[in-house]
Structure 1
Amino acid sequence: MRRHHRFAALALLAALAAITSPVALSTRAAAAASTGPGAAATPVWVPDGASVHGSAGPGDPPRLAVGRAYRDSLVRGESKYYAVRLDAASTAYLSVFAVPRPGSRVAFIDGVSLRLLSSRGALCDAYDARFGADDATAPVGGAVRRVAGADGPCHGAGTYLLVVQRDSADTSSGDAWPLDIRFMTEPGVEGAGAGGGGGTPEGFVSSPPPTVTTAPRALSGAVAMDAAARVPGTGVYTDRLAPGVTHYYRVPVDWGQSLSVSAGFGAAHVTRAGGFTGGGVSVTVYDPARGYAGGDAASYTGAPAAVTAQTPRVRYANRWSRDPRVSGSPVAGWYYVQVSVHPQVASYTSGTVPVTLRVAVTGVPQAGPRYVSGLTGTGFGVTGAVVAPGTGLSGTARPRLRALGYAALGAGTVLVAGIGVWVLRARRLPG
Structure 2
Amino acid sequence: MRGALATMAAVFAVAALPGQAYAAGAPGSYTFDPDAESAVGADISAEASKLEPGGVYRSAIRSGQKLYYRLDLDAKTNAYVSAVVVPKSGGKVSYGDGITVSIRDSSDDECSSQDAVFGSAQYPRPIAAYASRRIDKDGSCQDAGTYYVLIERETKETSDQGEWDLELRYASEPQLAKPSPEATTAPTAWPSASPPPPAAATDNTRRGGAGYYDATSLETGEWKDRIEPGQTLFYRVPVDWGQQLFATAGLSNSTSEKSAYVSSALAVSLENPALGHVAEVSPTSYSGKPISVPFDPLPPVAYENRYDSSDDVGGMRFAGWYYLSVSLSPEVAKPYGQKPIALTLKISVKGEAEESPYKGDAGIFAVTPGDKDAARQGQSGAQAAEAAGERDTMKLVAAAGIGAGTVLVLWLGAWTLIARRRAAAAPAAPTGGPYPYGGPPQAW
**Unpaired runs of at least 5, structure 1:** 1-28, 33-41, 396-431
Structure 2 match to 1:110: 97
CA shift for structure 1 position 312: 0.9
Q: Match of 2:301, as an amino acid?
A: V
Which of residues 191, 199, 213 is equivalent to 1:214? 199
Gaps of 5+ in 2: 1-23, 375-379, 387-444
**Alpha-carbon distance in 2 for matches of 1:197, 1:60:** 41
Q: Which has the larger radius of gyration?
A: 2
Assess, with a 3 A threshold, how the Cα gap between structure 1 residues 222 and 271 changes in structure 2: closer, same or farther: same
| Matched residue, 2:276 | 291
Q: Is 2:181 the partner of 1:224? A: no
Looking at structure 2, the residues matched to 156 and 394 of structure 1 have their Cα atoms a distance apart, in angstroms, of 36
Code of the aligned partner of 2:113: A
Normalising by structure 2, we get a TM-score of 0.74
RMSD: 2.6
Give the deviation of 1:289 after TM superposition.
Answer: 0.4
Of the three residues 359, 364, 375, the one matched with 2:352 is 364
Cα drift, residue 177 of structure 1: 0.6
- Closer/same/farther in 2, CA of residues 384 and 234 from structure 1, 3 Å limit: closer
Q: Which is bigger in relative contact order (C-alpha 8 A, separation at least 6)?
A: 1
**Number of the residue aligned with 1:254:** 240
Q: 1:197, 1:120 → 2: CA distance? A: 32
Using the aligned pairs only, state the percent identity: 31
Partner of 1:163: 150
Distance 2:370 2:265 in 1: 39
1:30–1:102 contact (8 Å) kept in structure 2: no
- Decide whether aligned partners of structure 1 residues 97 and 76 sit closer, same or farther in structure 2, where only a CA change above 3 A counts: same
Alignment partners' CA distance in 1, 2:60 and 2:249:
32
Q: Within the alignment, does 1:238 sit opposite 2:224 as a pair? A: yes
Q: Which stretch of structure 1 is more off in the superposition, 197-206 or 338-347?
A: 197-206
1:255 is displaced (CA, Å) by 0.4
Q: Distance in 1 between matches of 2:117 and 2:138?
A: 29
2:318 partner letter: V
- Quick check: 1:202 aligned with 2:187? yes
Indicate the residue corresponding to 1:338 in structure 2: 325
Instruction: Point out the structure with the larger strand share.
Output: 1
Deviations 1:112-152, CA, capped at 9 Å, x for gaps? 11111012221100111111136421101211111222534
Does the 8 A contact of 2:62 with 2:153 survive in 1? yes
**Conserved 8 A contact 1:45-1:223:** yes
Q: Which residue of 2 aligns with 1:11?
A: none
Q: What count of residue pairs does the alignment treat as equivalent?
A: 351
Q: Residue 197 of structure 1 contacts residue 317 of structure 1 at CA under 8 Å; is this kept in 2? A: no
- Counterpart residue number, 2:50: 63
**Letter matched to residue 282 of structure 1:** A
Q: Is the 8 A contact 1:293 1:311 kept in 2?
A: no
Q: Residue 390 of structure 1: which of 377, 381, 405 is its match?
A: 381
Shift of 1:271: 5.2
What is the match of residue 251 of structure 2?
265
Query: Residues 282 and 307 of structure 1 are in contact (CA less than 8 Å); yes or no, is this contact kept in structure 2?
Result: no
Which residue number in structure 1 is paired with residue 315 of structure 2?
328
Amino acid in structure 2 at the alignment position of 1:366: E
**SS state at 1:348 partner:** helix
Q: In the alignment, is the contact (CA less than 8 A) between 1:210 and 1:360 conserved in 2?
A: yes
Q: Larger deviation: 43-52 or 67-76?
A: 43-52
Secondary structure, counterpart of 1:221 in structure 2: coil
Higher helix share: 2
How far 1:215 sits from its partner (Å)? 2.3
**2:40 paired residue among 39, 47, 53:** 53
Cα distance in 2 for residues equivalent to 1:98 and 1:252? 24
Are 1:83 and 2:70 matched, yes or no? yes
Question: In structure 2, do the counterparts of structure 1 residues 267 and 89 end up closer, same or farther at CA, with 3 Å as the change threshold?
Answer: same
Q: Distance in 2 between matches of 1:392 and 1:159?
A: 37
